[in-house]
Amino acid sequence: MRGETILTGDRPTGPLHLGHYVGSLHSRLILQEENEQYVMIADMQALTDHMHSPDVVSHNVKELLLDYLAVGLDPDQSTLFIQSEVAALSELTLYYLNLVTWNRLKHNPTVKEEIVQKGMGESVPAGFMTYPIAQAADITAFHATLVPVGSDQLPMIEQTNEIVRAFNRLYGQSLVEARPYLPSQGRLPGTDGKSKMGKSLGNAIYLSDPIDVVRKKVKKMYSDPHHLRVEDPGRIEGNPLFLYLESFAQDTDHLQGMKEHYQRGGLADRIVKDYLTDCLIAFLEPIQQRRSEYANDIPFLLNTLKKGSQRAAAVAEKTLSEVKASVGLHYFD
């Protein structure tokens, strides 16, 4: 057994972007070195708001796997698996559903925000309302102690730990609590300067964006709205150009020099954008190169998912047996 046990995942609803990289992929690359890491493609969770477009979900399972492999998640170090291939997760969810009140679910801040953002109004699917409980099943099924996520997922970990405590109190110590592992860099804003980069917000740079698209997106990026003339002093705080460079600059001394110059005045946005473009290209090119190599090897992709899912299923199955035994539901031995 290596280090800590880690469970994390993403919904397969679209390609991953730079915000995902800064928010969680980067942590996973570091963590896979010395820990037992499970990375889940949450296709069932994706269905909670994509029930009318399951083809979007199934298509993106492969895309997500390609993004994972392209950034450097290594199937020999991390178990990459598909949620719907691990039936025990759904069964665990049913046991946990009884340990959470309806009222508690209604107050989950992430769920509340998503309901508004997705315009669900009064028609919130029960599966969507309860996905934090399924997420507790995902985490506890592997006895995960560490969950690398962006800050929007903190309420999910809190909910998981409430379930763990309730379960252990009622049925005896079976489950362990998990801690979040937050990115060292703050959240990457969108190219429009809005606080979050998101697919539905139209302000994302994707890991798989062709280089000319990256160029165009950077050119249009929001910066300091008061930096109108080159000679004016500019602000670097909250300026997306510098926030991106904080994560992707190749040369930190050069970045430091640019920051001072920008603040003094005399450094054009265009120059900063050109440097950012160069850095993003240097970052993305090898990723895209690997992505296209993996994309041609369908048998490898399928085999990776199959083997990963089988491994994950065996672990989750064992936890499910322990959970049932703790509740007292074992009849035949």
Binding mask 39-78 for ligand TRP (x = CB under 6 A): -x-x--x---------------------------------
Show the 3-state SS of the chain.
Answer: CCCCEEEEEECCCCCCEHHHHHHHHHHHHHHCCCCEEEEEECHHHHHCCCCCCHHHHHHHHHHHHHHHHHHCCCCCCEEEEEHHHCHHHHHHHHHHHCCCCHHHHHCCHHHHHHHHHCCCCCCCCHHHHCHHHHHHHHHHHCCCCEEECCHHHHHHHHHHHHHHHHHHHHHCCCCCCCEEECCCCCCCCCCCCCCCCCCCCCCCCECCCCHHHHHHHHHCCCCCCCCCCCCCCCCCCCCHHHHHHHHHCCCHHHHHHHHHHHHHCCCCHHHHHHHHHHHHHHHHHHHHHHHHHHHCCHHHHHHHHHHHHHHHHHHHHHHHHHHHHHHCCCCCC
Position among 138, 209, 224, 269 found at the interface with ligand TRP (CB under 6 A): 138
Residues in the interface with ligand TRP (CB under 6 A) total: 14
Q: What is the footprint of ligand TRP within residues 217-256 (CB under 6 A)? A: none
Residue 183 beta carbon to ligand TRP: minimum distance, rounded to whole angstroms: 13
Residue 233 beta carbon to ligand TRP: minimum distance, rounded to whole angstroms: 39
Residue 32 beta carbon to ligand TRP: minimum distance, rounded to whole angstroms: 15
Position among 48, 135, 208, 247 found at the interface with ligand TRP (CB under 6 A): 135
Which of 31/40 has CB closer to ligand TRP? 40
Q: Based on the shown chain and the rule CB under 6 A, indicate whether residue 163 belongs to the binding site for ligand TRP.
A: no
Residue 289 beta carbon to ligand TRP: minimum distance, rounded to whole angstroms: 26
Q: Based on the shown chain and the rule CB under 6 A, indicate whether residue 149 belongs to the binding site for ligand TRP.
A: yes
Position among 69, 147, 218, 249 found at the interface with ligand TRP (CB under 6 A): 147
Which of 105/149 has CB closer to ligand TRP? 149
Contact footprint for ligand TRP (CB under 6 A):
7-11, 40, 42, 45, 135, 138-139, 147, 149, 153
